[in-house]
Amino acid sequence: MKFALACLTAAGLCTPPAWAEYLVPMRTIRAKAIVNAEDLALKKGEILGALSDPSEVVGMEARVALYAGRPLRPGDIGPPAIVERNDLVTLIFRQGGLSIAAEGRALGRGAAGEAVRVMNLSSRTTVTGRITEDGSVEVN
């Protein structure tokens, strides 16, 4: 004999659980690759912390390898890097009306707004600065 589970609510009705959708890659996406709309699918279910809006993901860079069918999390993606390791960059120091520019070599990679270590080529010292939209690095 089979028994049905009774649902007790204020109205005496049984409602099915509300399912959310989350994003999964359709194929394996390598780290540092740009995510396209065709790479993504929505899957029914609810996973805490998983991304669900494709517009937040399309055009972003995979920070780690993304495997097909696994939920996407915010730490898995980020803005595309505009400075690569060993790139020649312009170091800029600004204070008041003074602006000094020097040539440097990036010791890491990153996107606009991220911190990166850079070696000043004339003094051979290592400094840390923020990447600007044009690919230069501002040092304080």
pLDDT (tens place) for every residue of the chain, 140 residues total: 444 444 444 444 554 555 689 999 999 999 999 999 999 999 998 888 899 999 999 999 999 999 999 999 999 999 999 999 999 999 999 999 999 999 999 999 999 999 999 999 999 999 999 999 999 999 98
Contacts 24+ apart (CB under 8 A), 18-22: 19/44, 19/45, 19/46, 20/44, 20/45, 20/46, 20/52, 21/45, 21/52, 22/46, 22/47, 22/50, 22/51, 22/52, 22/71, 22/72
Domains of the chain and CATH, by start: 21-78 (3.90.1210.10), 88-139 (2.30.30.760)
The pLDDT, as a whole number, for residue 50 is 92
Q: Which amino acid is at 113?
A: G
Q: Convert 75-91 to b/e letters by CB count within 10 Å (16 or more is b).
A: ebbeeebbbeeebebeb
